[in-house]
């Protein structure tokens, strides 16, 4: 019953503060039609990411984990007309659906979907000395989070905000003997965040349509 209550409150918030959004509805429908798993951020979480990126005046955004581009659209809408968002996705099928959704959202001019294992793409980006990003959202394989943090730091500038999704895992994060390797990925992320003197970080637990989970947030000094 608790999960039903959380979803009802998410719906209440969304109805009052988000309004109708045919573009995002169409993106979710295209994801379902394409057989993508429904593991996108929730609408209220998407709006939160949008507000964070917009509030800091982000002009360059990096996303790790595109799926069908739902969070990508929320984030890209925070950019100015000459802003840029690069999003990394392992699965070509997910990337194809995302490109369609991003085109329908009218954002293809500022969003680039790069296909491949994020670690490889990130190493190429570092080697190519790509311009630093203002906002980095990490939402791919949780086992990779410590490596994504290391790469994100190399693609950051002082003031860059880093956001990692799904770091609470229904409370699993506090269990050192948990059977799920994803829990060990987020636990290693917490250790790495704590050990990095260039970062000021916290994490917030969330409940809602996506059950009990949370985001870690950090700013690069």
Q: Which residues bind ligand SAM (CB under 6 A)?
A: 39-41, 65-67, 70-71, 88-91, 94, 117-118, 139-141, 144
* Smallest distance from ligand SAM to CB 117, Å: 4
* Smallest distance from ligand SAM to CB 24, Å: 10
Indicate the residue among 92 and 171 with the shorter CB distance to ligand SAM.
92
* Smallest distance from ligand SAM to CB 197, Å: 27
Indicate the residue among 134 and 139 with the shorter CB distance to ligand SAM.
139
Q: What is 80-138 written as a DSSP string?
A: -TT-EEEEEES-HHHHHHHHHHHHHTT-TTTEEEEES-HHHHHHHHHHTTPPPPSEEEE
- The strand pairing partners of 114, in sequence order, are 88
Indicate the residue among 65 and 208 with the shorter CB distance to ligand SAM.
65
* Smallest distance from ligand SAM to CB 193, Å: 20
Indicate the residue among 67 and 192 with the shorter CB distance to ligand SAM.
67
165 burial via Cβ count (<10 Å: 0-12, 13-18, 19+): buried
């Amino acid at each position: 019953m608790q999960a039903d209550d959380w979803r009802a409150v998410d719906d209440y918030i969304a109805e009052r503060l988000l309004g109708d959004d045919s573009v995002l509805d169409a993106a979710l429908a295209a994801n379902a039609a394409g057989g993508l798993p429904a593991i996108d951020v929730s609408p209220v979480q998407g709006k939160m990411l949008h507000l964070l990126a917009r509030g800091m005046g982000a002009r360059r955004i990096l996303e790790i984990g595109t799926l069908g581009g739902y969070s990508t659209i929320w984030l890209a809408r925070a950019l100015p007309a000459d802003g840029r968002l690069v999003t990394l996705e392992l699965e070509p099928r997910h990337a194809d659906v995302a490109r369609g959704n991003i085109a329908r959202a009218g954002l293809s001019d500022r969003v680039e979907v790069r296909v491949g294992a994020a670690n490889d793409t990130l190493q190429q980006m570092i080697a190519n000395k790509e311009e630093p990003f203002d906002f980095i959202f990490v939402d791919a394989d949780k086992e990779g989070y410590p490596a994504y943090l290391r790469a994100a730091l190399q693609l950051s500038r002082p003031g860059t905000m880093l956001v990692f999704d799904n770091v609470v895992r229904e409370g699993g994060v506090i269990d050192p003997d948990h059977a799920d390797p994803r829990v060990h990925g987020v636990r290693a992320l917490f250790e790495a965040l704590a050990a990095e003197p260039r970062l000021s970080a916290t994490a917030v637990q969330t409940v809602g349509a996506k059950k009990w989970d949370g985001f870690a947030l950090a700013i690069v000094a």
